Amino acid sequence: MAKINIVQAINQALREEMERDADVIVLGEDVGKDGGVFRVTEGLLEKFGPARVIDTPLAELGIAGAAIGMAAYGLKPVVEMQFMAFSYEAIEQIFSHAARLRNRSRGRYNCPIVVRMPYGVGIKGPELHMDSSEALFCHMPGIKVVVPSTPYNAKGLLTSAIRDPDPVVFLEPARLYRAIKTEVPQGEFTLALGKADVFQEGRDITAISWGAMLHRVIDASEGFDCEIIDLKTLKPFDEETILNSVKKTGRVVIVHEATKYCGLGAEVAAFLAQEAIMHLKGPVARVAAPEAVVPMALLEDYYMPSKERIRRAFEEAMKY
Amino acid sequence: MAKINIVQAINQALREEMERDADVIVLGEDVGKDGGVFRVTEGLLEKFGPARVIDTPLAELGIAGAAIGMAAYGLKPVVEMQFMAFSYEAIEQIFSHAARLRNRSRGRYNCPIVVRMPYGVGIKGPELHMDSSEALFCHMPGIKVVVPSTPYNAKGLLTSAIRDPDPVVFLEPARLYRAIKTEVPQGEFTLALGKADVFQEGRDITAISWGAMLHRVIDASEGFDCEIIDLKTLKPFDEETILNSVKKTGRVVIVHEATKYCGLGAEVAAFLAQEAIMHLKGPVARVAAPEAVVPMALLEDYYMPSKERIRRAFEEAMKY
Amino acid sequence: MGEKVIERFELKYLQIVDEAGVADPSLISSFPDGLIKKFFEAIVLTRTYNERALSLQREGRLGTYASVYGQEACQIGSALALEKGDWVFPSFRESGVFLTLGYPIWQMLRYWKGDERGMKIPRDINIFPMSVPVGTHIPHAAGAAWAMKIKGHKNASLCYFGDGGSSRGDFHEGLNIAGVLKLPAVFICQNNQWAISVPRSRQTAAKTIAQRAWSYGFEGVQVDGNDVLGVYSATKGALEKAKKGGGPTLIECFTYRLDDHTTADDASRYRSGEEVKEWKGKEPLVRLKILMQKKGLLSGEYEKTVNEKAKALVDKAIEEEEAYPPSEPEDIILYTNSSLTPRQSREIKELGWQK
Amino acid sequence: MGEKVIERFELKYLQIVDEAGVADPSLISSFPDGLIKKFFEAIVLTRTYNERALSLQREGRLGTYASVYGQEACQIGSALALEKGDWVFPSFRESGVFLTLGYPIWQMLRYWKGDERGMKIPRDINIFPMSVPVGTHIPHAAGAAWAMKIKGHKNASLCYFGDGGSSRGDFHEGLNIAGVLKLPAVFICQNNQWAISVPRSRQTAAKTIAQRAWSYGFEGVQVDGNDVLGVYSATKGALEKAKKGGGPTLIECFTYRLDDHTTADDASRYRSGEEVKEWKGKEPLVRLKILMQKKGLLSGEYEKTVNEKAKALVDKAIEEEEAYPPSEPEDIILYTNSSLTPRQSREIKELGWQK
Ligand SMILES: Cc1ncc(C[n+]2csc(CCOP(=O)(O)OP(=O)(O)O)c2C)c(N)n1
Ligand SMILES: Cc1ncc(C[n+]2csc(CCOP(=O)(O)OP(=O)(O)O)c2C)c(N)n1
Ligand SMILES: [Mg+2]
Ligand SMILES: [Mg+2]
């Protein structure tokens, strides 16, 4: 099996799904000739032609809106938003239309779109290139939100997202794009949406994270008997896996790049405060960004949860 | 003191602030001659003229964006979004610009805008007229989010919001607009943002809610020794008041109209799971909408947390 | 060097039958009698439905309702130009379009009563659920047209919105994308002079909305929106052009909203009775009847039958609607996605909603 | 009845100095020598800065940087037409505008290094922080112009964006609002033929971007964006008109991005060397120098002084920038609002960031 990075894994998933299903198309800014600013769609234009790999005007709400019309008509559009923050213009289309089309038409129409976007801090990008606003999408009934943390699950999860009959927001941790290479099978495979991975078993602490933070958590876990959960699907998250782990450890540390306030960590913690309170030995800790927008490159490293902050949270947890 | 309803209280606050400060202006769709579709801005055009009470084209992102430019130049625009769901096109302007202008310019510019909007279920409105997406705005660093529950605090909070040097999203529970009349002093007064009210003291349960749900909670509390907290400011919420109450009661029920998943209730519960876990006697309960978009009028009543559901949560809490 | 003119545009206005019922002789000739009668019958049905909906609303049997009165020609003229396989993207005021496509009337009423099942579109009609957020459906029409093009289907999409809707970013991005990709889409702006209380003159400083087409590299035309023949002709031409690969068209139907914005509105707060009166004189049915009379197409007998048939259809629909069983609360959750999340299943149980 | 033309438009193109440095005799006459020298000096400064920024980036001393090479005339010609009290709303490529307004060069470099303090605009310069999300600042320019109008200030706002930016909803809503309210705003579209890898032809099917002005009821003009005199003249006229209450203008500067989109881009992936070469022949400095030579304004001595002065300014700025102390981590939080929330204060403590 070849070792590939996340960019290649996503590219492979797109390529294989496009080969398999003529209704799958790719659209967005610079996805064609340029192959995407991160080269995720590289080579697709050459292989599938300009009717299926489409460079669009610079118009995020238009792109999302058009994809909704396409999807209702019978295509399976995979939209690329160049960076997460540039999807904000499209939020109304995603929230008021994509998320609701099936419900509003009582099942007559559905909206099988995938909205891919790189997200997250840690790439020394310009302003608004490093937001982590997954919680906004998680708050929308009807929208699934998926984040891969490895090339393997990038491919499997994207394949599932494309085949899903409903809208999926697929968040790609830009920091990881080329940072890790792992073995990924050639040929199609899927990973069920809604299922978390227990990346590592442990008895003392349940550490919950996703995307780039998973790797920080792994780093930080040395010396702790830590059960590490990679959430993978942020909405709906895998309640069972989390609950089973917390019942065992009684200690929880949630780590994410986004700010705490109404972040996804809040939902995980609130879920546990409702469903697992009797199993908790101490506070549910969230290690997250401070209440501030993502800083520019020079301060970026301070913003992102550091290994040290995560370790401190583990140490704190072990006091209970 | 005259008894007035929330519509009148907001109208009074606008009127008095416009009299006091020539930089305060009102803009939005139908806010002028029509006085707003809920008549909140009635009479303002006549009094302050078309330069300060402005009917805009139907263009929510343009309205919000223009308000940002006005605010940076030195005005204090109060924007009306006709219904909460129609503000979604403006989310990028609010999140990427209004919320960040001070930070990005390291204090050179600030953005004293107020974005008012009716929200919430319970008015038998058409589709997309009854969303409760406060959590989206709460997740944006730099944005304050305020919800009044009575005419008195509608006036005091809006006055504070207008005077605040930073952007405030002011959510008006449409269901309450004309539902309650209370005594409200003529003349200016402010209510501090970031402070909750203990509406009623109690020893057994801390019930946390805001806006229209406060009144359901009050209704449901009969027979329980319930400390009822009206959050009023959703972002940043009053941690101290909540914490003090929970330390006393050890039992928490949070009630809101929005869906749970990454709703504001999650943040309150997560905050408690981190800061008050040792004081909690049982699970932190959230009574909220089910994971679905707001239904149309005929099913609407099922969607909104009912008195019975809230009472059940209280009963459940008392089991611990 | 210096200054030179590099582009010139002309905007045309089309009217086949004027307010007095006088028709342009060369343009009317292509209209068979049967078609003119179809126009008439559809307008009568729409008015009948609309009046009944308004009175049902007054009786508290429907929720807020948006009247179509005055705009029937825009809707019927364009909808009758559609062919099977074309797709329609309506705003919330397109009762005339729904009716002309044969949409079940009881479902329309059901929708306005506040029931999502009203927009469970029958399989043989290609219309989207009405779009409540103004203008947001315009990119959907572009997207469907794009899909037709990709799939090689020789159809088109037809999108309706108002003068207010033309101010939204969705209009711009949707039409621009349609222009770039040369999509088979026809955009119909019903400029009814008002967006709730905001007059057209405050919606944009442009003289017409039709002229915006040039911003997107395709053709625009303004049509007398109260002239059903004019609207039909413009739409038919635009749809044919679209299907032949000629790209999109923007049609501005110049018309007037004769009623309040919706039943929740009171238009007397912001516009004069004289204005309304003046426009009543231009409304679409009167002139069509004059034309038909001149052509000998409007016998008393025929008119009576048409009226009665319309009334009977609407009566029957009201009965059907009222006999329709209520939704289950569970339905609130059930249609969110193709399958329930574990949490949703739990919620259905906790709420005691399982059937 | 029938079809008639109801609106006609003409779009003009303006060029005062052509690619060969030949000037339109009647249009050049109003340009004093001193102004022409100002153009020259500003272009030299911008190029000097731009080249140094690019090389600093290559050395790893700046982050991703967006080169202005090729677009200097659009930016300098327009910025020199500004008066005190006017406000500027730039996108991310407006180094030429910042420099022309006297923006501290070390701050510009600091910004591109990744320091928010680079956009802590000095009090005497009315420019907004660069807008990274494309087109989103257009409504801000309308808003500032609106505030000027409300406050009775006789100033105007000037907004810069690209051909890509003109496809966004913000463009439409911002310009439309400016038109309706007749705001003192001038919108400059630097059509540099590319939005990263997307060519102008794929951005819109409209022949020009300037023609969009008619969608909003005001005037538009296309200018040779590599002719600094033409840009100056068009902008000056538009600003004057705006300040006199004549409303907005849309100016399309027809130009070319000679470098990669940013230092993170490789334009050879999507456009041909020939195209770039052809446009190099039209770049703004060469023709200006020919003009100046003909007018006897370009002695070797003068040119040398200008070059050296620019170099010295940039050198000094690089030193200042590098000597500037780093931000405190606390600054990440400190500027969110006028005061800290309790949670923010706690976070600063927990993170060990208090000063
Ligand atoms: C995005 C959005 N903003 C505001 C509203 C509230 N609203 C409903 S209809 C309407 C006016 C629409 O005017 P126009 O587009 O001309 O259509 P018309 O009502 O005249 O048919 C407004 C402001 C809405 N539904 N959607
Ligand atoms: C809203 C938004 N979408 C996408 C991007 C990514 N992006 C940055 S610049 C650019 C192209 C801009 O083209 P244009 O407006 O023509 O300006 P130019 O770069 O040519 O100066 C893109 C797509 C962005 N910054 N903002
Ligand atoms: Mg209208
Ligand atoms: Mg460009």
Residue D82: the pLDDT is 98
Q: Is the pLDDT of residue B313 over 90?
A: yes
B140-197: per-residue pLDDT in tens? 999 999 999 999 999 999 999 999 999 999 999 999 999 999 999 999 999 999 999 9
**Average pLDDT, stretch C130-153?**
98
Residue B66: the pLDDT is 98
Q: Which helix (H) or strand (E) holds B235?
A: strand B233-235
Please tell me the pTM assigned to this model.
Answer: 0.98
Q: How far is CA B188 from CA A209, B112, B113, B182, in A?
A: 48, 19, 19, 16
Checking DSSP bridges between strand A24-28 and strand A76-80, what pairing results, if any?
A: parallel
CA–chain centroid gap for B51, Å, is 28
Helix residue ranges, H only, A164-254: 212-220, 239-249
Cβ neighbours of C204 in D, within 8 Å: 176, 179-180, 215-217
Task: Print pLDDT tens along chain A (320 aa).
Answer: 889 999 999 999 999 999 999 999 999 999 999 999 999 999 999 999 999 999 999 999 999 999 999 999 999 999 999 999 999 999 999 999 999 999 999 999 999 999 999 999 999 999 999 999 999 999 999 999 999 999 999 999 999 999 999 999 999 999 999 999 999 999 999 999 999 999 999 999 999 999 999 999 999 999 999 999 999 999 999 999 999 999 999 999 999 999 999 999 999 999 999 999 999 999 999 999 999 999 999 999 999 999 999 999 999 999 99
Q: Is the pLDDT of residue C330 over 80?
A: yes
Residue D217 at interface with chain B, using a CB cutoff of 8 Å:
no
Residues for chain C: how many in total? 355
Q: What residue type is assigned to position C286 of the chain?
A: V
Q: Which of B61, B63, B165 is opposite residue D338, by nearest beta carbon?
A: B165
Q: Is the pLDDT of residue D1 over 90?
A: no
CA distance C118 to A234: 33
Average per-residue pLDDT for chain C: 97
Which residues does D185 contact at the CB level (< 8 Å), separation at least 6?
D141, D142, D144, D145, D156, D157, D158, D159, D178, D242, D248
Give the DSSP letter string of C58-78: HTTSS-S----TT-HHHHHHH
Residue C206 at interface with chain A, using a CB cutoff of 8 Å:
no
Residue B192: the pLDDT is 98
Q: Which of C261, C269, C324, C335 is catalytic?
A: C261
What does residue B81 show for φ and ψ, rounded to 5 degrees? -95, 130
CA distance B141 to D333: 9
CB contact under 8 A, C121 and A108: yes
Q: Terminal CA-to-CA distance of chain C, rounded, Å?
A: 78
CB contact under 8 A, A97 and C137: yes
CB contact under 8 A, D208 and C27: no
Residue D65: the pLDDT is 98
Cβ neighbours of A54 in C, within 8 Å: 181
CA distance A115 to A120: 16
Helix residue ranges, H only, chain C: 25-28, 33-58, 72-79, 95-100, 105-113, 138-151, 169-181, 200-203, 228-243, 273-280, 284-294, 300-323, 331-334, 342-350
CB contact under 8 A, B293 and A141: yes
Average per-residue pLDDT for chain D: 97
Residue C281: the pLDDT is 97
CA–chain centroid gap for D135, Å, is 13
Q: How confident is the model at residue C1 (pLDDT cuts 50, 70, 90)?
A: confident
Ligand 1 test: best mutation among B56, B86, B119, most atoms within 8 Å of CB?
B86
Average per-residue pLDDT for chain A: 98
B86 lines ligand 1 (CB under 6 A): yes
Residue B1: the pLDDT is 81
CA distance C342 to A237: 10
Which residues does A36 contact at the CB level (< 8 Å), separation at least 6?
A28, A30, A42, A80
**Average pLDDT, stretch B11-20?**
98
Asked if A2-184 and A197-317 have one fold, the answer is: yes
Q: How confident is the model at residue D265 (pLDDT cuts 50, 70, 90)?
A: very high
B221-257: per-residue pLDDT in tens? 999 999 999 999 999 999 999 999 999 999 999 999 9
Residues for chain A: how many in total? 320
Residue B72 at interface with chain D, using a CB cutoff of 8 Å:
yes
Query: What single-letter DSSP state applies at residue C127?
Result: B
CA distance C93 to C135: 12
Q: Which two tokens stand for residue C251?
A: 């049609």
CA distance B275 to B266: 14
CATH class, domain A197-317, is alpha beta
Query: What single-letter DSSP state applies at residue D247?
Result: -
Q: Which helix (H) or strand (E) holds A208?
A: strand A205-209
CB contact under 8 A, B144 and D337: yes
Q: Is the pLDDT of residue C6 over 80?
A: yes
CA distance B282 to B272: 12
CATH classification number, D12-324, choose in 3.40.50.1820, 3.40.50.300, 3.90.1150.10, 3.40.50.970: 3.40.50.970
Q: Which two tokens stand for residue C153?
A: 């289907």
D120-147: per-residue pLDDT in tens? 999 999 999 999 999 999 999 999 999 9
- CA distance, residue D352 to nearest chain C CA (Å): 39
Which residues does B53 contact at the CB level (< 8 Å), separation at least 6?
B25, B26, B27, B31, B32, B41, B44, B45
Domain coordinates in residue numbering, chain C: 12-324, 328-355
Q: In C189-209, which positions are buried (b, 16+ CB within 10 angstroms) versus exposed (e)?
A: bbbbbbbbbbebebbbbbebb
**Which chain B residue shows the shortest CA-CA distance from D87?**
B73
Provide the 3-class DSSP secondary structure of residue D221.
strand
Q: How confident is the model at residue D354 (pLDDT cuts 50, 70, 90)?
A: confident
Query: What single-letter DSSP state applies at residue A272?
Result: H
CA distance A175 to A120: 7
Q: To which residue do tokens 């149309």 refer?
A: B296
Residue B117: the pLDDT is 98
Could you tell me which of B242, B219, B246 has the C-alpha nearest to residue B232? B242
**Cβ proximity of A256 and A265 under 8 Å:** yes
**Which chain C residue shows the shortest CA-CA distance from D212?**
C215
B52-90: per-residue pLDDT in tens? 999 999 999 999 999 999 999 999 999 999 999 999 999
Q: How far is CA A59 from CA A41, A64, A65, B20, B238, in A?
A: 19, 9, 10, 42, 40
Would residue C137 show up in a list of annotated catalytic residues for this protein?
A: no
Residue D218: the pLDDT is 98
Domain coordinates in residue numbering, chain A: 2-184, 197-317
Residue C349: the pLDDT is 96
B-C C-beta contacts closer than 8 Å: 111
Ligand 2 test: best mutation among A34, A61, A80, A82, most atoms within 8 Å of CB?
A82
Range list of β-strands (E), D119-218: 157-162, 185-191, 194-195, 198-199
Cβ neighbours of C135 in B, within 8 Å: 58
CA distance A193 to A144: 8
CA distance B189 to B159: 7
Average per-residue pLDDT for chain B: 98
Q: How confident is the model at residue C354 (pLDDT cuts 50, 70, 90)?
A: confident
CATH class, domain B2-184, is alpha beta
Q: How confident is the model at residue C355 (pLDDT cuts 50, 70, 90)?
A: confident
Distance A104 CA to ligand 1 centre (A): 19
Would residue D117 show up in a list of annotated catalytic residues for this protein?
A: no
**Cβ proximity of D41 and D199 under 8 Å:** no
**Cβ proximity of D72 and D39 under 8 Å:** no
CA distance A122 to D129: 23
Distance B84 CA to ligand 3 centre (A): 21
